[in-house]
């Protein structure tokens, strides 16, 4: 499909100092001390957790209301300045970087829980509410929100990157749990993408268009989420497996048997070592699965028994049960700190966070080929995976002062992405495209599908105000 | 948001006889006896099941391959002729009507099951495969596809209208179960909207954009679907409830308690009478719930016990269990024939099929107000509902020779749609917008959201080739 009549304005370089100064005058007048152009604040808002270069915005505005976001969009549109929505800055793909300058729109102060509709199992929150804040709020309601990326991310950011985490195998990802969004579009209009009805066939699915759009189509200023009832009973365990292939086969058999496992996480031996050191654990140093079962008292026992049989059948065992809540909390805290635990394996190194996802039938092949690739390349690269979804992460730890090592890690990450795509998978299961996955978009989707995506961008944001340089190289 | 730079070509009236004749020559040359302009075939392809007027296409092409669809799109684009994708013609909102003429693209012969990936719990099918055909094929695999609109619809059509049915409360709707689509776009390009990976964060969600687009953005020529494992045990029952409010309250408590009910259907007294007459049943003539439980042997017993307690607590009872498979088949066959059973209540009348869905906390209010409205209006209007989703249907049976009755039914349908929207719901839970729900789109979504939808349409199909006059009044 040719794009001749529809195109996104191409941005090159950063705005001139004069343009920035002129914009800053207007922003300071409108936002007062909620506007900042200080070096420290700017650096913090362009900070990346991985090997990606920091690219600070020209200024930062701290929004407190929807009207703040509306006004900022209108002002930026007039000045032709990019707007980069910012939640907690825990993205791993450079989403909050400002390669073309502009204003970081910090939404962390929009952190009010607007409604909890217990009968409908849903809630409405501002975008700066974090997942742990929401669950603390829900504590006595019998409800919880299951999606848990490693970081305590904001729910607006999680919607924007289609986040998931350890519970997705049972409860779904943000794609499944966002009912509706409130967004500010490129001309400063606020609109809702859907209703609170559980089903709708009323026109195009705008909700799913903004979920995962990484802030490139508009600013998310309100999120309506499905909630789940807290399970009556929870039981968690770790078990060892002889190798990653048996871990993958155990996972496939578990999913295929219809066992409604809530979490099933793979750690390779190197990751177990990292977790032990960082979180003061004493897990046996072998490939390991961490699992959790949710259900009724009897249901959880039945699930655990059936899972135990599958593990034994695949040569695994050595179950350690976390029956008390505080034991489970310690275990999952360690899992969520995994990114930092891995980083601590090699002080001073930066992680090349990767995020492939394949059909589960290809998971063992993909992980085994990747382990062989790591061994051949000589990288220090631990693996953890949400294996119930076919999703795993490899984080080569790279000395950024060594160009040869950087080159080797980049080549490895590229091989891994292409390996997953060749197996019918994706270059990113949950981190998003950001800056460095742009290179794989055409390989994964084909030029015609990427062209349709560009058409959506051009139709919604022809001026290319929203987060330019992400998803597309424009 | 202003649409000045982006607009969809407006179509008025039908093509001239000369234009049709010229197109027909080319279609006959390319498609031979798979092309037809006969009156009977045209009438059949513009047939509607409800009160909507039949608007036949100018001709029909029976596609057998993806290449047929590609070539048809290219030919129609050159002749500026509309393309109306056709599956089984079981839509209830006039989706297959041709108000602006053009070619009905009959996809029913593209009915091959291309792959079943049992390990991945997914399959790839051509769009003409019907839901019962797929389930017959899967019969010995231990897998099934759960979505069951009343009709034996085609899976391409079900994807295009975001269909659901009785199992959606547990298994989700087409929105949840379509993993990826193969589509032909307006310039005749074939592309896939996603991969078979269970999760992806790689760019805009094109899959969900085409799911529910009602053929207005492209032609669906391939569907990749998630499958489920057949439950070990199934148990179904009917029970009576004192009134629809207690039925709704029973449903709310069931959902809230986390009971993983597979089906929970409401029939009002009039519907029960219709079912008894049409399907030779002897159900007690009172408001009724039909329920089904899926799980392990012990799990199903536990679910049934807990559900029984909830029913009793709401003043209901009189359980009749369908324990044998043939009893269950008879029961659900009757439910799926409900549309025809209702029609048979008043011979010669046409049903005004409605399809509202509200947050479940408002379900009792919405149904009660609607019953009062029916009583005040004096319509013959049975109610059935997928109440676990907050979704219910009212089908006023109207004598189409009586203009006053038509007017009364139209006014009732409008009040019902606005009632649902005012309660935070939608004018269509699963039937789609088609022709007659266009009137409610701005009320439900707001002008700004509908403008975004128009922008998508303009970006993908500026010539307005695909199913013009559906979703939007263009």
Alpha-carbon distance A402 to nearest alpha carbon in chain B (angstroms) = 30
Alpha-carbon distance A53 to nearest alpha carbon in chain B (angstroms) = 21
B25 burial level (CB within 10 Å; 0-12, 13-18, 19+): exposed
Q: Which among B199, B426, B457 is the nearest to A197, CB-wise? A: B426
Q: Which among A187, A455, A457 is the nearest to B460, CB-wise? A: A455
- Contact call for residues A238 and A288 (beta carbons, < 8 A): yes
Answer yes or no: is pLDDT of A5 > 60.
Answer: no
Asked if A206 and B173 come within 8 Å (Cβ–Cβ), the reply is: no
Q: To which residue do tokens 């896939």 refer?
A: B192
- In total, the C-beta contacts within 8 angstroms joining chain A to chain B are 285
Instruction: Find the mean pLDDT for residues A431-439.
Output: 97
Q: Is CATH 3.30.465.10 correct for A113-229?
A: yes
Specify the pLDDT at position B298.
87
- All residues of chain A having their beta carbon less than 8 Å from the beta carbon of residue B232 are 258
- All residues of chain B having their beta carbon less than 8 Å from the beta carbon of residue A256 are 118-119, 121, 229
Answer yes or no: is pLDDT of A456 > 80.
Answer: yes
* Structure confidence at residue B6 as a pLDDT band (50, 70, 90): confident
Residue A393, CB half-sphere, CA atoms under 13 Å: how many? 25
Asked if A197 and B430 come within 8 Å (Cβ–Cβ), the reply is: no
- All residues of chain B having their beta carbon less than 8 Å from the beta carbon of residue A433 are 201-203
Asked if B196 and A458 come within 8 Å (Cβ–Cβ), the reply is: no
Asked if B200 and A428 come within 8 Å (Cβ–Cβ), the reply is: yes
- Contact call for residues B354 and B416 (beta carbons, < 8 A): yes
Q: What pLDDT digit, counting tens, does each position of B139-159 carry?
A: 999 999 999 998 999 999 999
Specify the pLDDT at position B5.
56
The closest alpha carbon to B342, from B418, B394, B399, B280, belongs to B394
Dist CA B205 CA A211 (whole Å): 8
Asked if B424 and A462 come within 8 Å (Cβ–Cβ), the reply is: no
A10 burial level (CB within 10 Å; 0-12, 13-18, 19+): exposed
Alpha-carbon distance A281 to nearest alpha carbon in chain B (angstroms) = 31
Sequence spans of domains, chain B: 17-108+447-460, 113-229, 232-433
Answer yes or no: is pLDDT of B312 > 70.
Answer: yes
Asked if B425 and A195 come within 8 Å (Cβ–Cβ), the reply is: yes
Asked if A471 and B176 come within 8 Å (Cβ–Cβ), the reply is: no
Q: Residue A248's closest chain B neighbor by CA?
A: B119
Q: Which among A359, A432, A457 is the nearest to B197, CB-wise? A: A359
Dist CA B403 CA A264 (whole Å): 62
Asked if B256 and A202 come within 8 Å (Cβ–Cβ), the reply is: no
CA distances from B170 to A129, B179, B258, B260, B264 (A): 29, 18, 11, 6, 10
Going by the DSSP 8-state scheme, the letter that residue B439 receives in this structure is G
Asked if A460 and B458 come within 8 Å (Cβ–Cβ), the reply is: no
Answer yes or no: is pLDDT of B419 > 70.
Answer: yes
CB atoms within 10 A of CB B418: 15
* Structure confidence at residue B257 as a pLDDT band (50, 70, 90): confident
* Sign of the torsion formed by the C-alpha atoms of A329, A335, A340 and A345: positive
Specify the pLDDT at position B196.
97
Q: Which CATH architecture has domain A17-108+447-460?
A: 2-Layer Sandwich (3.30)
Instruction: Find the mean pLDDT for residues A80-87.
Output: 98
- Contact call for residues B390 and A197 (beta carbons, < 8 A): yes
- All residues of chain B having their beta carbon less than 8 Å from the beta carbon of residue A164 are 199
Asked if B449 and A206 come within 8 Å (Cβ–Cβ), the reply is: yes
Mean pLDDT across chain A: 95
Specify the pLDDT at position A193.
98
Q: Residue A430's closest chain B neighbor by CA?
A: B201
Q: Which among B203, B428, B448 is the nearest to A202, CB-wise? A: B428
Asked if A448 and B191 come within 8 Å (Cβ–Cβ), the reply is: yes
Specify the pLDDT at position B188.
98
Mean pLDDT across chain B: 95
Instruction: Find the mean pLDDT for residues A422-451.
Output: 97
Q: What pLDDT digit, counting tens, does each position of A25-52 carry?
A: 999 999 999 999 999 999 999 988 888 9
Alpha-carbon distance B37 to nearest alpha carbon in chain A (angstroms) = 30
Q: What pLDDT digit, counting tens, does each position of A189-223 carry?
A: 999 999 999 999 999 999 999 999 999 999 999 99
Best probe of the A interface among B191, B201, B353, by most A CBs < 10 A, is B201
Q: What pLDDT digit, counting tens, does each position of A257-273 carry?
A: 889 999 999 999 999 99
> Rg of chain A's alpha carbons, rounded to an integer?
22
* Structure confidence at residue B8 as a pLDDT band (50, 70, 90): confident
Instruction: Give the percent of chain B with pLDDT over 90.
Output: 93
Q: What pLDDT digit, counting tens, does each position of B371-416 carry?
A: 999 999 999 999 999 999 999 999 999 999 999 999 999 999 999 9
Answer yes or no: is pLDDT of B33 > 50.
Answer: yes
For A257, the token pair is: 């048997």
Dist CA A470 CA B69 (whole Å): 34
Q: What pLDDT digit, counting tens, does each position of A142-192 carry?
A: 999 999 998 999 999 999 999 999 999 999 999 999 999 999 999 999 999
Asked if A2 and B445 come within 8 Å (Cβ–Cβ), the reply is: no
- All residues of chain A having their beta carbon less than 8 Å from the beta carbon of residue B432 are 201
Q: Which among B2, B361, B456 is the nearest to A120, CB-wise? A: B361
Asked if A161 and B440 come within 8 Å (Cβ–Cβ), the reply is: no
Q: Which among B427, B450, B456 is the nearest to A459, CB-wise? A: B456
Q: Residue A227's closest chain B neighbor by CA?
A: B256
Residue B353 CB partners (closer than 8 Å, separation 6+): B49, B50, B92, B93, B339, B393, B395, B431
Instruction: Find the mean pLDDT for residues B362-370.
Output: 96
Answer yes or no: is pLDDT of B4 > 50.
Answer: no
Dist CA A152 CA A137 (whole Å): 15
Asked if B444 and A355 come within 8 Å (Cβ–Cβ), the reply is: no
Best probe of the A interface among B202, B232, B429, B445, by most A CBs < 10 A, is B202
The closest alpha carbon to B162, from B188, B181, B137, belongs to B181
- All residues of chain A having their beta carbon less than 8 Å from the beta carbon of residue B205 are 162, 175, 205, 208-209, 211-212
Q: Which among A359, A432, A455 is the nearest to B120, CB-wise? A: A359
Alpha-carbon distance B358 to nearest alpha carbon in chain A (angstroms) = 5
Dist CA A439 CA B283 (whole Å): 62
Asked if B205 and A195 come within 8 Å (Cβ–Cβ), the reply is: no
What fold does the segment set B232-433 form as a domain?
A: Vanillyl-alcohol Oxidase; Chain A, domain 3 (3.40.462)
Q: Which among A118, A200, A441 is the nearest to B429, CB-wise? A: A200
Domain A231-436: give its CATH superfamily.
FAD-linked oxidases, C-terminal domain (3.40.462.10)
Answer yes or no: is pLDDT of B1 > 90.
Answer: no
The closest alpha carbon to B204, from B426, B468, B460, belongs to B460
What is the SS3 assignment for A83? Answer: strand
Alpha-carbon distance A232 to nearest alpha carbon in chain B (angstroms) = 9
Asked if B471 and A204 come within 8 Å (Cβ–Cβ), the reply is: yes
CA distances from A87 to A81, A105, A324, B348 (A): 19, 9, 33, 60
What is the SS3 assignment for A304? Answer: helix
The closest alpha carbon to A224, from A207, A240, A247, A239, belongs to A207
Asked if A441 and B202 come within 8 Å (Cβ–Cβ), the reply is: yes
- Contact call for residues A291 and A209 (beta carbons, < 8 A): no
Alpha-carbon distance B6 to nearest alpha carbon in chain A (angstroms) = 7
Asked if A391 and B198 come within 8 Å (Cβ–Cβ), the reply is: yes
Alpha-carbon distance B260 to nearest alpha carbon in chain A (angstroms) = 10
Q: What pLDDT digit, counting tens, does each position of B425-444 carry?
A: 999 999 999 999 999 999 99
Angle separating helix axes A447-460 and B447-460, nearest 10 degrees: 140
- All residues of chain B having their beta carbon less than 8 Å from the beta carbon of residue A175 are 205, 208
* Structure confidence at residue A1 as a pLDDT band (50, 70, 90): very low
Alpha-carbon distance B457 to nearest alpha carbon in chain A (angstroms) = 9
Asked if B425 and A197 come within 8 Å (Cβ–Cβ), the reply is: yes
DSSP letters, B84-115, are EEESSS--SS-TT--TT--EEEE-TT---EEE
- Contact call for residues B474 and B10 (beta carbons, < 8 A): yes
Best probe of the A interface among B74, B203, B366, by most A CBs < 10 A, is B203
């Amino acid at each position: 499909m040719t794009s001749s009549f529809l195109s996104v304005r191409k941005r090159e370089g950063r705005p001139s100092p004069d343009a920035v100064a002129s914009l800053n005058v207007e922003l300071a007048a409108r936002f007062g001390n909620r506007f900042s152009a200080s070096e420290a604040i700017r650096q913090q808002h362009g900070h990346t957790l991985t090997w990606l270069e920091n690219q600070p915005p020209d200024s930062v505005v701290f929004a407190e209301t929807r009207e703040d976001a509306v006004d900022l969009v209108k002002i930026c549109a007039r000045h032709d300045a990019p707007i980069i929505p910012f939640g907690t800055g825990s993205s791993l793909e450079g989403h909050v970087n400002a390669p073309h300058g502009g204003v970081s729109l910090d939404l962390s102060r929009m952190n009010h829980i607007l409604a909890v509709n217990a009968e409908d199992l849903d809630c409405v929150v501002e975008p700066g509410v974090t997942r742990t804040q929401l669950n603390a709020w829900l504590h006595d309601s019998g409800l919880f929100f299951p999606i848990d990326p490693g970081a305590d991310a904001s729910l607006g950011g999680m919607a924007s990157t289609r986040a998931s985490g350890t519970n997705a195998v049972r409860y779904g990802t943000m794609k499944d749990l966002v009912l509706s969004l409130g967004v500010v579009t490129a001309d400063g209009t606020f609109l809702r993408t859907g209703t609170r009805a559980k089903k709708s066939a009323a026109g195009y699915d705008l909700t799913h268009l903004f979920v995962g759009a990484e802030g490139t189509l508009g600013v998310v200023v309100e999120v309506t989420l499905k909630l789940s009832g807290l399970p009556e009973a929870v039981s968690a365990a770790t078990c060892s497996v002889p190798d990653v292939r048996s871990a993958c086969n155990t996972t496939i058999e578990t999913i295929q048997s219809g066992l409604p496992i809530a979490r099933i996480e793979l750690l390779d031996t190197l990751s177990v070592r990292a977790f032990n050191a960082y979180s003061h654990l004493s897990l046996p140093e072998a490939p390991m699965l961490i699992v959790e079962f949710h259900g009724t008292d009897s249901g959880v026992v039945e699930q655990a028994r059936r899972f135990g049989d599958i593990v034994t059948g695949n040569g695994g065992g050595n179950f350690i049960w976390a029956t008390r809540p505080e034991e489970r909390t310690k275990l999952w805290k360690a899992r969520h700190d995994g990114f930092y635990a891995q980083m601590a394996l090699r002080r001073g190194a930066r992680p090349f966070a990767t995020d492939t996802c394949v059909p589960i039938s290809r998971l063992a092949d993909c992980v085994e080929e990747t382990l062989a690739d790591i061994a051949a390349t000589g990288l220090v690269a631990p693996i953890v995976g949400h294996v119930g979804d076919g999703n795993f992460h490899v984080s080569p730890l790279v000395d950024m002062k060594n160009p040869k090592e950087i080159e080797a890690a980049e080549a490895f990450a590229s091989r891994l992405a292409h390996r997953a795509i060749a197996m019918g998978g994706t270059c990113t299961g949950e981190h998003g495209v950001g800056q460095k996955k742009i290179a794989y978009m055409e390989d994964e989707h084909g030029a015609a599908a990427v062209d349709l995506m560009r058409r959506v961008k051009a139709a919604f944001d022809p001026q290319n105000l929203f987060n330019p340089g992400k998803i597309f190289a424009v």
